A = this chain, B = another copy of it.
């Protein structure tokens, strides 16, 4: 029987010891004297990051009832409510930090984005509607316009005097912005010194899914192909009035309502089309491209490709804020589900007078804690992204490389965190059973609203592909930097590494040293260096494999090369995800290392367990790959699942501390099941049964009676037999 390695390597005694630290009588586990414990205030502060002040103010704001998502509102009611809420934000001058100095602001982009992210716990519709108005529409004017344009159009945008749409996406082209079909053709004979003629040539070129477009927008920042003198200079951005002061569409402008959506119904998404609409020459936002009255085109950036991507670079702000708000949404969902799970009881296998709290079931820990760990990793990674964003947007780091790094980091994190949020919210919803399905408990609404976060501001699949391309090009650059003579050596060396990978017992040392000592194997898996090495090697080798597989594509025709790349698309996405895991793991680890002062030891110990849970979950999720690559021995591979379960039990006593550090407050939480309702019901029921047991006149169960009778009968038979 000793051949069953699973029981052999995780002695039950260990688990019992650890799970015993959870006191089954109360919702908050009592830690045995001196055991490490999270310093909630300290970790909470660490999570707040550099823009703590902005976040704290925003959290207070987000708790205000007048900003909350309504229940059972019609689309029309919800839209009107959110539009009114925007006015509240204007009154509080909430987006002032985004303004550059010459427009009278502090140019504090980090604070601005941090503050908006926090709005998601009030109502995601509010966060996104504000994002459309200030993060996209106003921001486009600031980033792409000249100072005169900014002075003219930014102030009314800030005060909501001009609600605006960001008219980029077309029905036919979402992700492929370069192929937009709306045209802006310059007519030098029009107006004072020339006019643009904006035109939607066919149905698929209608602008679609635009927030504010169905009702509220008075103007739009419109992306269209700039055509002058018969030359198409590619997509540029134009400032276009679309409705008059009474809200009537201007001549030549058409609009349609997108109607009900899967969520975010507080936003009036809609379509816009233009039938030879004329605007002045000076309505081109001309920072990266301009046309003189005679129709001559000029640009400070020669390459049309680079020019286009520079203009699009302003979009990164949206990705940054979605990353942060998705993490905040996960925190809210986990707060609700974990609070409920520590109060809700069901089934009484262990104790006939007391049912078990959900959180004490292994399956419940297993479904929620890895999400909690990933959310922590996401929070620390987001802080890194936000700092990189602030550096670039404030102008402190405006070199092309910093911009490119920022864009890659945003493209890495946004798909990961929005995926995590959706999966976490869904898991939390299901973990709360029927109660989780009630709208008042927030989880379903949160899922509905967050759903589209996976698609807008860069579709998740498309973004991950961008990341993969960047990783591939970095890898190729690396190859290029090796001198001619070295290239042969380099390739031979990498080939040798790959060959080694294919011998699963290559790292025999690993298994020999582990053998027969589960505790040592467990400890070594939890070594930071070990996890980092595995995750880093995986990220690198996956890129390398694709690069090698595609090495012939450079010499192919474009069509063949595209087909070849397509044959490795799934691997490319996989490599990008492996990279994302590594980025998260490192950010989490740095976050832990940065903890200092009194209380840091406990916090570090607990968070290191959480980090290990994150790292080992990632490794376990790709275990077949690690085994096949020879990076993990079968001995260790067999160990990892039980190690993960062991971590779950170690973390069990800390779950409430871990969610407390998220600082999700009443007002953010409006779910009755997470505001004491469940505990109250449990207490009332327990008191009833206690009283009944004490009164001695409670009904006896038929089963008890039958068991007693059986016993008596047997005793009688025994007596009879003896006689």
Contacts and interface: CB of A to CB of B under 8 A. Distances in A.
A346 to B, nearest CB: 5
Given A176-B347, A563-B350, A259 B627 contact: no
Given A570-B366, A681-B203, A684-B202, A261 B548 contact: no
Contact of A569 (B181, B362, B433, B499): B362
A478 interface: no
Interface in A319-370: 346-351, 355, 360-363, 366
Given A685-B181, A701-B232, A567 B362 contact: yes
A627 to B, nearest CB: 5
A36 interface: no
Interface string A686-705: 00100000000101111101
B205 A699 contact: no
B7 A549 contact: yes
Interface string A164-183: 00000101111110010100
Contacts of A6: 545, 549
A528 B444 CA distance: 42
A434 B174 contact: yes
Given A231-B705, A451-B429, A549-B4, A201 B570 contact: no
Contacts of A451: 426, 429, 437, 444, 447
A305 B703 contact: yes
Contacts of A203: 680-681, 684-685
Interface stretch (A99-107, A242-250, A394-402, A455-463): A455-463
How many monomers of this protein are in the complex? 2
A438 to B, nearest CB: 6
A172 B689 CA distance: 14
Contacts of A391: none
A233 interface: yes
Given A7-B549, A179-B355, A231-B699, A684 B504 contact: no
Contact of A504 (B297, B445, B498, B634): B634
A566 interface: yes
Contacts of A485: none
B439 A262 contact: yes
Given A201-B688, A232-B699, A637-B628, A444 B350 contact: no
B702 A231 contact: yes
Given A202-B685, A495-B3, A179 B701 contact: no
A305 B567 CA distance: 58
Interface stretch (A67-75, A519-527, A580-588, A604-612): A67-75
Interface in A208-259: 208-209, 225, 227, 230-234, 258-259
A638 interface: yes
A439 B624 contact: no
A489 interface: no
Interface in A622-656: 623-624, 627-628, 634, 637-638, 645
A430 B462 CA distance: 12
Interface in A406-456: 422, 426, 429-430, 433-434, 436-440, 443-445, 447-448, 451-452, 454-456
A201 B713 CA distance: 36
A182 to B, nearest CB: 12
Contacts of A297: 702
Main secondary structure of the interface of A (DSSP, over half): helix
A529 B620 CA distance: 29
A175 B430 CA distance: 13
Given A203-B684, A563-B350, A434 B208 contact: yes
A447 to B, nearest CB: 7
Given A304-B702, A361-B569, A699-B231, A444 B438 contact: no
Interface stretch (A12-20, A121-129, A151-159, A272-280): A12-20
A293 to B, nearest CB: 20
A704 to B, nearest CB: 9
A512 interface: no
Contacts of A74: 72, 74
Interface in A645-687: 645, 680-682, 684-685
Contacts of A349: 558, 562, 565-566
A350 B562 contact: yes
Nearest to A692: B201
Contacts of A564: 12
A259 B435 CA distance: 12
A685 B434 contact: no
A346 B176 contact: yes
A684 B205 CA distance: 10
A455 B438 contact: no
A351 B559 contact: yes
A572 to B, nearest CB: 8
A491 interface: yes
Interface string A29-40: 000000000000
A554 interface: no
A430 B455 CA distance: 7
A502 interface: yes
A204 interface: yes
Contacts of A1: 491, 495, 548
A260 interface: yes
Given A349-B562, A363-B570, A702 B233 contact: yes
Interface in A274-321: 297, 304-305
A63 interface: no
B232 A702 contact: yes
15 contacts: A3-B499, A204-B682, A234-B701, A258-B438, A259-B438, A261-B438, A263-B437, A350-B558, A350-B562, A430-B454, A434-B452, A436-B455, A437-B451, A437-B455, A624-B637
Given A1-B548, A72-B259, A363-B570, 7 more contacts: A1-B495, A262-B447, A349-B562, A361-B569, A429-B451, A437-B455, A627-B628
